Amino acid sequence: MEKSMLIKLVICLILGVGGLHLLRLPQTTQSWIVPSARESLSVSQPETRNGYRLPLLNHHNEQYSAQVSIGTPPQIFKIGLDTGSSNMWATSSKCPTNTCRLHQQYNSSLSNSYSKNGSRFEISYGAEGDGISGFMSQDTIGVGAFSIANQSFAEATQEIGHGPAHWEMDGILGLGFSAAAVDLVTPPFYNMIGQGLTKPIFALYFSSIFVEGDESEVIFGGTNPHHYTGQLATLPLRDKPTWETTLTSIAFGSWTIQLVDIGAAIDTGASMLVLPTTLALLMYVIYASTRRPR
């Protein structure tokens, strides 16, 4: 089983659900858009006592990306970190579409560490089936100060559906299990562990308001105690190759709904909370009944 590898997922989320706190994090509904000055954050973040830290760019409170490099010398990209998938891809310079021209494009001819693969690749995301297609390549990936040698990833040459036209990032780095990877490609996080990452842990913190010292971030190989109090809880995963645990209850206002055998996928590539239709309708009815008429 994948879980025997003791790969731990620590996710610090701010959820706008009244009365519900995960890991004692504060709630906020204030919107924040990353100023353009923040786009120039350096990709070369030093190794810290608690792992390798990268700041995350907040795109309209809907998408978050980290600056990741590919190749030698490094080509810099805004890459989304997605626990709901397991593959990595980046927009290719060989992509002829207008959508691709809106993004930073990886050019293999400029990299001294590039290795050709060429096998066909395709991946889709979510119920709408939006995604990309292209071909596989291999190169050095820079995640902060950590370099992943000989990482296989896809060069995207064609978008699938309408979703990619609205994506702020230039690619995606999947943080899911290897068993869920398309074509069983080894995910970058697995190679980080194999190439010397101190601890098999990654931590994500999403903030919706910029306060100096409290920006969104990802840490590979550790956690940031600044973002939580007490001890982190360990949640057992369900028997699927995904970051899915059991949701036991939902609380909002003075109401608590106890649940039985409901799985909850922790998907950092999504910007919403999704519930079964029956449960969502029940919550709406309860919420509507507590609203005072104006």
* CATH fold for domain 2-227: Cathepsin D, subunit A; domain 1 (2.40.70)
Q: How confident is the model at residue 209 (pLDDT cuts 50, 70, 90)?
A: low
Lowest pLDDT segment from 12-26, 126-140, 166-180, 203-217:
12-26
Half-sphere exposure of 141 (CA within 13 A, CB side): 28
Q: How confident is the model at residue 213 (pLDDT cuts 50, 70, 90)?
A: low
Q: Which long-range contacts (CB under 8 A, 24 or more apart) does 14-22 make?
A: 14/206, 14/207, 14/208, 15/273, 17/250, 17/252, 17/273, 18/252, 18/253, 19/251, 19/252, 19/253, 19/254, 20/250, 20/251, 20/252
pTM of the model: 0.81
pLDDT at 274: 86
Which residues are part of the catalytic machinery? 82, 267
Per-residue pLDDT of 70-88, as tens digits, reads 999 999 999 999 999 999 9
Q: How confident is the model at residue 49 (pLDDT cuts 50, 70, 90)?
A: low
Q: How confident is the model at residue 227 (pLDDT cuts 50, 70, 90)?
A: confident
Q: How confident is the model at residue 293 (pLDDT cuts 50, 70, 90)?
A: low
Structural domain boundaries in the chain: 2-227, 244-290
Q: How confident is the model at residue 58 (pLDDT cuts 50, 70, 90)?
A: confident
User: Pick from 133, 164, 138: which is nearest to 153 by CA?
Assistant: 138
pLDDT at 13: 34
pLDDT mean over 163-171: 88
What single letter denotes the amino acid at residue 139?
Answer: D
pLDDT at 119: 98
Per-residue pLDDT of 270-289, as tens digits, reads 888 888 898 889 888 888 88
Percent of the chain topping pLDDT 90: 54
pLDDT at 267: 93
Higher-scoring residue by pLDDT: 181, 166 = 181
pLDDT at 290: 76
pLDDT at 17: 32
Per-residue pLDDT of 231-271, as tens digits, reads 988 999 997 789 999 999 988 778 888 998 889 999 998 88
Distance between CA atoms of residues 78 and 17, nearest Å = 29
- Say whether pLDDT at 3 is over 80: no
User: Pick from 51, 46, 9, 83: which is nearest to 199 by CA?
Assistant: 51
